Amino acid sequence: ADPARQKADAEFISHDDLVALLETIFRRAGMADWVAAVQARNCAGAERDGSKSHGLFRVPGYVSTLASGWVDGRAEPVVEDVADAFVRVDAMNGFAQPALARGTPLLLEKVKRSGIALLAMRNSHHFGALWPDVEPFAERGLVALSFVNSFACVVPVGGRKPVYGTNPIAFAAPRAGGDPIVFDQSSSALANGDVRIAAREGRMLPEGSGVDRTGAPTTDPKAILDGGALLPFGGYKGASLAMMVEILAAALTGGQFSFEVDWSGHPGAETPRTGQLLVVIDPEAGGGRRFAERVEQLIGRIRDAGQERLPGDRRHDNRRAAARDGIPIQRSVLADLRARASS
């Protein structure tokens, strides 16, 4: 897709207007008001920052999943205080982000007291980008790390059958001289959402993206989606990270492994019901008060060495542009959203 053409076809709307539009759609689709508010901010924030595979592209999937009865848009998460530094959250078959919002106050209390705390979530549906789950902690001066597993669509090394999900890992740390440093990446060659976008746009993928239904390497997104699978990124190294995510996000939390997700009885379901682990650390308990300056020093050295783009730079550039000009949305997409909000 040609970016200049896309811009010409776009209408610019403010972040707040997009949040309001999505809240209406999500409420009409069956989310409780407070759940719709959390999910609308998450989805609009992803679109604003240019996390396209987890922004407006996901709206039809949220709606069809709610209609299928696979997820409970009105679930009331249960937060359990299990140990000095351990919070357990049962999302009760609801979305992960509202459950995280419910567990966060206790998690922060524990981080303050213990210097570190974990939030282990199960029975949760995560259909979004992972950075919104960690970045707010770094904005408060904390370090955060999160892991989510999804649904089996990634083969292990040398394998033919998918076992792992696309299993993202996100990390955020405060820095003295700017926005927190954040990375958020799947452990597969690409996110499943990006494969679906490429299939829709008729684009081939880079070598090493996936295998077809016979296990042969392919760069055709349709072959990956039609009985094939993604490959882990970076061979066995990415595969080990995918395995670690399954262990931390599912085994440790009491959630389902990606290969256990069975939505076959719910046509239209797209949100995987799995688990998530979040680790939050107060850096003052570790290397001392100068943590944010030390991070800044490292970033300065990386830039001096020649790396112009750091993870998160693109998102924050998009965020600044959106604050100035609004968020560009294809006219056809916006028309579909408005129709959904008023139907």
42 binds, among ligand PYC, ligand NDP, none (CB under 5 to 8 A by kind): none
74 binds, among ligand NDP, ligand PYC, none (CB under 5 to 8 A by kind): none
Q: Given the residues 51, 54, 146, 150, select the one marked as catalytic.
A: 54
Given a contact cutoff of 8 angstroms between Cβ atoms, the answer to whether 137 and 106 are in contact is no
Closest contact distance (angstroms) between CB of 274 and ligand PYC is 9
> Which positions from 118 to 137 touch ligand PYC by CB under 6 A, shown as an x/- string?
---------x----------
Q: Is 53 in the site for ligand PYC (CB under 6 A)?
A: yes
123 binds, among ligand PYC, ligand NDP, none (CB under 5 to 8 A by kind): none
- Binding segment (CB under 6 A) for ligand PYC, from list 87-95, 109-117, 186-194, 304-312: 186-194
Residue nearest to ligand NDP (CB): 129
> What SS3 string covers the chain?
CCHHHHHHCEEEECHHHHHHHHHHHHHHHCCCHHHHHHHHHHHHHHHHHCCHHHCHHHHHHHHHHHHHCCCCCCCCCEEEEEECCEEEEEEEEEEHHHHHHHHHHHHHHHHHHHCEEEEEEEEEECCCCCHHHHHHHHHCCCEEEEEECCCCCECCCCCCCCCECCCCEEEEECCCCCCCEEEEECCECCCHHHHHHHHHHCCCCCCCCEECCCCCEECCHHHHHCCCEECECCCHHHHHHHHHHHHHHHHCCCCCCHHHCCCCCCCCCCCCEEEEEEEEECHHHCCCCCHHHHHHHHHHHHHHCCCCCCCCHHHHHHHHHHHHHCEEEEHHHHHHHHHHHHC
Of 96, 125, 128, the closest CA to residue 273 belongs to 125
- Binding segment (CB under 6 A) for ligand PYC, from list 101-109, 156-164, 188-196, 303-311: 188-196
125 in catalytic set:
no
The β-bridge partners of 10 are 330
39 binds, among ligand PYC, ligand NDP, none (CB under 5 to 8 A by kind): none
**Could you say which of 42, 97, 123, 166 contacts ligand PYC (CB under 6 A)?**
166
- Binding segment (CB under 6 A) for ligand PYC, from list 184-192, 206-214, 295-303, 308-316: 184-192
**Could you say which of 65, 124, 150, 209 contacts ligand NDP (CB under 6 A)?**
150
Given a contact cutoff of 8 angstroms between Cβ atoms, the answer to whether 175 and 296 are in contact is yes
- Binding segment (CB under 6 A) for ligand NDP, from list 60-68, 100-108, 185-193, 262-270: 185-193
> Which positions from 263 to 302 touch ligand NDP by CB under 6 A, shown as an x/- string?
----------------------------------------
282 binds, among ligand PYC, ligand NDP, none (CB under 5 to 8 A by kind): none
Given a contact cutoff of 8 angstroms between Cβ atoms, the answer to whether 192 and 150 are in contact is yes
Cβ nearer to ligand NDP, comparing 114 with 219 = 219
Distance CA 211, CA 218 (A): 5
54 in catalytic set:
yes
**Could you say which of 180, 232, 272, 283 contacts ligand PYC (CB under 6 A)?**
272
Q: Which residues are catalytic?
A: 53-54, 194
Give me the residues that bind ligand PYC (CB under 6 A), please.
53, 127, 150, 166, 186, 191-193, 272
Give me the residues that bind ligand NDP (CB under 6 A), please.
51, 53-54, 126-131, 148, 150, 166, 168, 183-186, 190-191, 194, 309-315
